[in-house]
Chain A
Amino acid sequence: MSDSDDAPDEPEGRGVRADGTGIVPPDDETPTWRERKERSQGLARLTYEYFERARREDQDLRMESDYVERDVLAFPAWPHEMIRNLALTSFFVGMIIFLSATLPPHIGPPADSSTTPAIILPDWYLYWSFGLLKLGPLNPELSLLGGQKLMADRTYGVLANLVVVGFIAIVPFLNKGSARRPVEQPFWASVGVFGVIFAFTISVLSVKNLVPIDPDMLFTLTFLLPFVGGFITYGVLKSMREGYMFELNRRYYRLRPPK
């Protein structure tokens, strides 16, 4: 039996061990951590093997890189960064307070289910969604169904909302690579410009009588202008690429001039 008069920090004959053993006297069969890992199977084993391999890769990367981490004498957090952030925050909050004081919000007459008002609109940031609900004319009448539509107009609108949001959500899985500026990714930048212009035009479409153009023409323009913007962006960025990539690689070109 262990000697209970020992002070807790003087175990007889055993040091403190790093793998969590050594506090309770082991029986003969307590496996060490290593043994536990070696006898594991299936998913647990896979996890251990992956971890060991990943740590190995990380260590190799650390050895390869010539990045030296130093204590940096740089823009200090206190007081410089703190004051800068405080100044910016005060500016923004002050701007909000100024706007609130000068432009108070609207409140209309009380709700009345028997009177439909002339203007029914959500807040401005939902105009795009409201506009997508009005794509009725786009809902195709399928001859397969005898000239009927596959789904009701309003379902079509809700689906359009989901499709748009879903597409935006999966963009990272479509556009991979390391491009970080619009110039470096002209196709996706022009898709972005298309999206922004489309959001704008469809918001405009959702407000009735906003633009004094014939409604069919307005509908066509809603879909045409984004494409126009997208194509222009693509052309501009593609032509900028030549000069831009040259600037980036200037030092490289000096060492190895192109033939």
Chain B
Amino acid sequence: MLQDLLGAVTLGSIYLMFALGMSLAWGSIGILNFAHGSIFMFAAFVGYLVLAQSPLSLIALVALGVTVGALLSVLVHVVAFEQITRWTKDHRTAEMQILIGGIGIAGIPLALAQYETRSNPFGFTQSSFQPTVHVVGDLRVSDLQVLIVVAAAVLTTAIALWLRHSRQGLALRSIGVDAEVASMMGVNRRRFAIVTMAVAGGLAGLAAVLYTFYVGALTPESGETLIIKAFACIILGGVGSMAGVAVGAFALAFAETLVLTNFGGLWVDAISFSLIFAVLLLRPAGLFGKKAVRRT
């Protein structure tokens, strides 16, 4: 029981790190990056490719994953999303084109990884780091699990505090409320957008490396389901709310663990999909959502 609880907390922390960046970007600069899941997968995949050449330590792998994630995320933003927002006039069309463009881009890293691995799972078996398991009472805790939970907690708190108390955080939030007025007040929208996307991608890369160590192997397709799960977490909590994402991520992880232990693994993915419907129907603004700011 306690073991399952620990597993759920670890899984929730992974979801949190993944969804945090997505929610940040969506809530502030208005970009729902559908390629986020592919970026996650590809960061781990690059780690796997490099490991085939030389055995890296955990730190090196994390640094590599974060860098690859951040670079890819910024690349996608500059090449695709920035162009779309430049060429389209109204917000609604831009939103749809960003989603469609993101779906298209998401297919590229996926196809590359599928081609290279022939759709087989890949892992970090060649790394010099392997998690060690400590036994505390009946509980088996690995140092990796501790790292995952601590990293998620620290990063989420740091970002939430930064967003709430710093001048830059205020500027970023103001873009989310009204982008045009924000830029009239001297907020450099383009720079903030790039930094936000880099942070989001970096978080995805970090989550990917830690998750791959945690579960042992990743399939090229894992990004697809994860993006839907993150979407479920975000809308459950409310778009743009950092506390909301945290609640959403852990709620989903607990629900999934509950189903996994009672009914088996086949239906686990259906939870997040049904959760999306439930939230959108019952409380579209999410648990922590503020009254929707209508941007026309």
Answer yes or no: are A and B bound together in one complex.
no
Question: Which residues in B have some Cβ–Cβ distance to A below 8 Å?
Answer: none
Question: Which residues in A have some Cβ–Cβ distance to B below 8 Å?
Answer: none
